[in-house]
Amino acid sequence: MGLCFICLQAPAQQKTNADSIREKMQWFADAKLGIFIHWGIYSVNGIDESWSFHNKKISYPDYMKQLSRFTASAYKPEAWAALIKESGARYAVITTKHHDGVALWPTKQNHFNVVDNTPAKRDLLKPFYAALDRQGIKRGAYFSLIDWSHPDYPGFLNDSSRYKVADDPARWERFQHFFQAQINEINLAYKPDLWWFDGDWEHSADEWQAKKVKEDILKINPAAIVNGRLQGFGDYETPEQNFPVSRPPFNWWELCMTTNNNWGYHPDDTNYKTPFEVISIFADVVGNGGNLLLDIGPKEDGSIPAEQIHILKELGKWNKKHAEAVFGTLPGLPAGHFYGPSTLSKDSVTLYLFLPDRSAGDIMIKGLSNKIKDVEIVGESQHLSPKIVGKISWSPVPGLVFIHVPGKFKDEYMTVLKVSLQGRLKLYRGQGGLK
């Protein structure tokens, strides 16, 4: 993590037929929310994960000294899974290995791992995935393709490399065998529902043997899905931090975003997003047909910062109240019909409007051809009366719909209206006038 790929990546579906994976992607499309977990030795000093030594903010030897103080002494995977469940998330993605090469499982590949090289001395993935299973949450595995600690990997520091692949193909072949063997270990031991690759930008699809990597994963778990960072062999797109202004054209997409400014634990970073900000971003993502992968960064002992717990709990409280408008829905109205996010039920007869303005007043819908059967404030059992303005009896152009929302029914963070329609959603997309 650390770079924005929204402009750098080729469409994730360029080598995947969307129709061929639509069935297995359905749980992902319905899930809407995942929790990202960046946890590793970088949480000891509270510095940038891997990038801090790569960019020479700290020397590599000093970075790796954190191994001796990574304890996981307060790690409670059941509590983690319960918090994720409370947030409303349907899947969780944990960093099995970041670019520094330190694995959170006992890899058999004779490389750095928390069992052999840290005071934690245990597999940190197995109990977490088991806890997720008990909560009914899908397993996600972040895996860095690059490994700046491995002697056979070309890259190291941002201004120096060990060798060029073309000059020493045998060395690169050894690394190919190494990283693919680690992927196979994870796949066999933990069977992730979702693979979240990172670091593909440093080499081509052929050099990564991306096609083979995906095929090998699917041989063991045909239902597994893969993010868009496998050089064109992913199933969905993954913009990072920066929200798309318009709805992405991909079949499935996911915005990964931090709760403050950093992925891993940073005690110096107090710029946390408020629950209102997170919920506003989440509503915008869902309204545009995407998922939000919201990140937390536990401390080295496995405890989660109080600010992040607060955000997840408040998000969960809002999600519980408004679940029908969020989970299992379709993208809502196109831009111009409503000033705010919206979603649509799968049968297209119920429209959900998310009201960004917490103060209240009247909201407006343009170009709604359907008659409205009912308007209800989600979670409040309060019904409202819509008012049609400007409808000309002899014109097919629909009038404007105004709905007054009393301030006393406003949600603390974001109010949602449920608009029940007569028939499937039908929109007027013309320019006004007589037709």
Specify the pLDDT at position 433. Answer: 65
Q: How far apart are alpha carbons 352 and 375 in whole angstroms?
A: 10
Domain termination residue (choose one: 326, 355, 376): 326
In a domain, 190, yes or no: yes
Asked if residue 57 and residue 33 are part of one domain, the reply reads yes
Asked if residue 403 and residue 385 are part of one domain, the reply reads yes
Specify the pLDDT at position 4. Answer: 37
Contacts of 206 (CB under 8 A, 6+ apart): none
In a domain, 4, yes or no: no
Specify the pLDDT at position 6. Answer: 33
Total count of domains within the chain: 2
In a domain, 309, yes or no: yes
Domain span including residue 306: 12-326
Specify the pLDDT at position 3. Answer: 43
Which CATH number covers residue 406? 2.60.40.1180
Asked if residue 167 and residue 96 are part of one domain, the reply reads yes
Which CATH number covers residue 157? 3.20.20.80
**Exposure b/e, 313-352, CB count within 10 A at least 16 = b:** ebbbbbbebbebbbbbbeebbeeebbebbbbbbeeebbbb
Structure tokens at 164: 């060029």
Query: Which residues in the chain land under pLDDT 70?
Result: 1-16, 358-360, 433-435
Report yes or no: 309 and 317 within 8 Å, Cβ to Cβ.
Answer: no
Specify the pLDDT at position 11. Answer: 43
pTM for this prediction: 0.94
Predicted confidence (pLDDT) per residue in 250-283, tens digit: 789 999 999 999 999 999 999 999 999 999 999 9
Specify the pLDDT at position 7. Answer: 34
Predicted confidence (pLDDT) per residue in 57-76, tens digit: 999 999 999 999 999 999 99
Specify the pLDDT at position 16. Answer: 58
Domain termination residue (choose one: 304, 326, 348): 326
Q: How far apart are alpha carbons 69 and 118 in whole angstroms?
A: 7
Q: Which residues of 172-224 form beta strands (DSSP E)?
A: 194-198
In a domain, 5, yes or no: no
Specify the pLDDT at position 40. Answer: 98
Give Cα separations from 56 to 51, 62, 144, 248 (angstroms). 8, 11, 20, 35
Q: Which residues of 86-244 form beta strands (DSSP E)?
A: 91-97, 138-144, 155-157, 160-161, 194-198, 225-226
Specify the pLDDT at position 233. Answer: 95
Asked if residue 270 and residue 341 are part of one domain, the reply reads no
